[in-house]
Amino acid sequence: MKILILICFLCLILCIQPVENHFFSWIRDKIQDKISANKSRHAFDCGKSAIQQILPTKMDKPRVTGGISAVDHSFPWVVNVINLKSLKSCGGTIISSDTIITAAHCMVDPPKYVTVIAGAANLLGRLNLFNHYSVSKVIIHPNYVSCCDYDVALIKLKKKLQRSDMINSICLPNEKDQEIIPDTTAIIAGWGGKYPTSGLNAFGSFHLKQGLVYVKSNNYCQNFLESFDKKDEICATNTHDNVDSRGWLEPLLDPIARNNKVAVVPLIEIIDDSTFQLTGTPIQNIQVGGFDWNLIFNWHVTPEKEMKRRQKKTDPIRSPTMAGGLFSIDRDWFEQLGMYDPGMDIWGGENLELSFKVWQCGGELLCAPCSHVGHVFRKRSPYEWPKNVNVVKKNTVRLAEVWLDDYKKYYYERIGNDLGDFGDVSDRLKIRDRLQCKPFKWFLDNVYPEQFIPGESLYFGEIRNRGKSSICLDSQEIEDGDKPIIGYPCHGQAGNQFFLMSKLFEIRREEKCLDYPGGQSELGKPGKVVSFSCHSMQGNQMWTYENDILRHASGFCIELSSKNDKDIFMSNCDPTNNYQKWFWKKRINNSTQT
C-alpha cells in the first residue's frame, strides 16, 4: 500500500488533479524564489521527519474528525498560527525557511497580531517554551472573498526558521506529483477542533492530531459533489461524511456584512442523541424550509430556479422559512422587527413568525452552504408543558393573526376554528404597519410559489362514510408516510382527518396524497390505499369524487369494510353500496357547500 505523507488543512478526501492546478500553481509562483533559496545554508531537506509517524495499519481510529494524537514531532512541518487579538488558532505548514501556508479565513487581522509557533507537538501549558516567530507579511490569494473558494494564504516570517528534528518543511507538489494514483492512502495532520462540529473551542486541540484520508478520482468526487470543480478544488469530506474544520461562523456573517436586512441559517447536521454520531449533508441534498397549513415547518428540495439563480455553489440559497434556533441576524434589524414575539410561550411557531416577517418586511432569509452546524435531535420534548393550555396552538394563532392576512383561515379550518385565548397582538400589528410590510400573498407569489393553496381546492375537510356515519378516512401519522389509510371514528378536530382535493385531482393531507399502487389484498380484492408523498404527476394519485363515490384512475373505488371499521380497501365500484359512499364538503369561490 502506498503511503502519501502530506499536510492537508482544507481537505478530508483528496482528489486527483490530472491538469495544472490553479490553486497550487499560484502558491508555486509566489514562492519560486524561496525554492531557489533552499540551496542556501538555510536549506531544508523537505518532507522528512526524524520521528516516525504512526502508520495507517496501526491507527485504531482512522477517522479525521477528532483524529488521534500524533507522535511528538513526527510532523515537523506543521505549525500553529495564533491570532493574539482574537485568541483563535489555525494550522499551518512550513513550505520554505521563512514561508508558511495556511487558510485565508484565518488571516482576518493585520500581521502584527499573528504569531507562528514551530516545533510544537503539545501546546497545553507550554506556549512560552516554544519558538515564536513574528510575521512581516500576509499574502492572501487574490481570488479569495469569503468561505470557501481560494481559501489560502501565505505567511512571510520576519526571521528564518532553523532546521532541526522538530522543524522542517514539507515538499511542494511538482508536475510529477500531479499524477496521484486513486485509492492511495494519505496521512494528514493538524490542530483540528476537539469536537466534531468544531467552533466549540476556538483553540482547537492542544495536541497535534493525525488521521487518514483516501485519494479519490475526479469522477468519484463529481459523483459525490455535483458542483466539484477539478481545476481548483479538493473534495472536503471523509468516509463518514464528517467535516472537522473551522469556518462555520464566517459564512453566517458575510451576507449580513453586505446587507444588514438578511437572516442567515447554516446547514443543520444531525447529531444522534444517544451516540453523538454526526450525520453529514452532501451538497446535492441541500434543502430549503417550507411549511404546511398546520403551520408546521418542513423541508423541501431546493427549487430548480433557485439553483440556477446562484452563480457558485458557495452562494447562499434563498429559503422561505427557517427551522429556528440556528441563525444569525443584525441586532438592530432584529430589534426593528420586534425580535421574538413576547406573547409566545416556550416553543413552537416562533421560527415561522420570524421567517415571514423577515421576508414581508423587506429582508431575505438565506441558507449558507459553507456553514455546517450540528444539532442534537431529541426523541422527546425536554420542556414541561402547562396543563389545559395548547401552547403551540396559541403561538401559531398569534403568528397567523399578525402575518397571514386572509390566508389564516386555512390554518383555522384545521383547528376547527377554535382559536382559544391567544392574547393581545395589537403591538405586533403596529410593528408590521410601521415597517410597511408586504401582504402574505406577496410572500406566496414571490418567495414560495411552490406552496399549495387550500383555497384552490375543490373539496375539503373530513371524508365521512355514508354506510357508517361515525367513521372517517384517517391518514394515521403523516410523518410515517406510505402507510395504509384507515377508517377511524370521526373526531371533528381535523388533523389526520382533514383532506383536500387539489386542481390536479389529488386527495391531499398536507404534503401527502392518497395513492393506490395497485395489487391485491389477502382476500383477493384490490389492495390498500396508502399515504404517499405528493408528486403532482397524477397517475396513482388521481381521483374523482362524483355522486359520493371516490373513484381512482384505475377504475376502482374506496370502500369501508362492513365488518371492520379500520379496514379501507379498493373495490369494484358499486353505486348502490353505501360503504363506498362518502360525504365531503365542496368549496365554491372560497365558500363551502355540503
Q: Where are the domains of the chain?
A: 3-79+123-129+141-149+165-224, 250-446, 454-593
Helix, strand, or coil (residue 101): strand
Helix, strand, or coil (residue 492): coil
Looking at domain 250-446, which CATH architecture does it have? Alpha-Beta Complex (3.90)
pLDDT at 3: 31
pLDDT at 295: 92
- Alpha-carbon gap, residue 362 to 590, rounded angstroms: 30
pLDDT at 484: 87
Instruction: Measure the CA dihedral 55/56/62/64, to 10°.
Output: 70
Instruction: Report residue 289: phi and psi, to 5°.
Output: -85, 150
Q: Are 395 and 350 in contact (CB under 8 A)?
A: yes
Residue 562 exposure: Cα atoms within 13 Å on the Cβ side: 7
pLDDT at 136: 92
Please give the helix or strand (H or E) that residue 544 lies within, else none.
strand 543-546
pLDDT at 196: 34
**Beta-carbon count within 10 A of 71 CB:** 14
In residues, how long is the chain?
594
- For the domain made up of 454-593, give the CATH fold: Trefoil (Acidic Fibroblast Growth Factor, subunit A) (2.80.10)
What is the pTM assigned to this prediction? 0.51
**Beta-carbon count within 10 A of 548 CB:** 14
pLDDT at 30: 54
Do β-strands 185-190 and 3-5 pair in parallel, antiparallel, or remain unpaired?
Answer: parallel
pLDDT at 407: 94
- Alpha-carbon gap, residue 216 to 184, rounded angstroms: 8
pLDDT at 82: 84
- Alpha-carbon gap, residue 23 to 234, rounded angstroms: 10
- Alpha-carbon gap, residue 172 to 190, rounded angstroms: 17
pLDDT at 319: 96
pLDDT at 415: 86
Residues 6+ apart with CB under 8 A from 102: 9, 81, 90, 91, 92, 93, 152, 153, 155
Averaged over successive runs of 10 residues, the pLDDT of the chain (594 residues) comes to 33 36 50 45 60 52 56 84 78 90 85 87 63 88 76 91 86 66 72 43 66 66 49 35 54 88 88 74 77 88 86 89 88 90 87 96 93 76 70 92 94 86 92 96 93 83 93 76 84 85 86 78 64 80 93 92 90 94 73 44
Q: Cell for 5?
A: 505523507
Radius of gyration of the chain (CA): 30
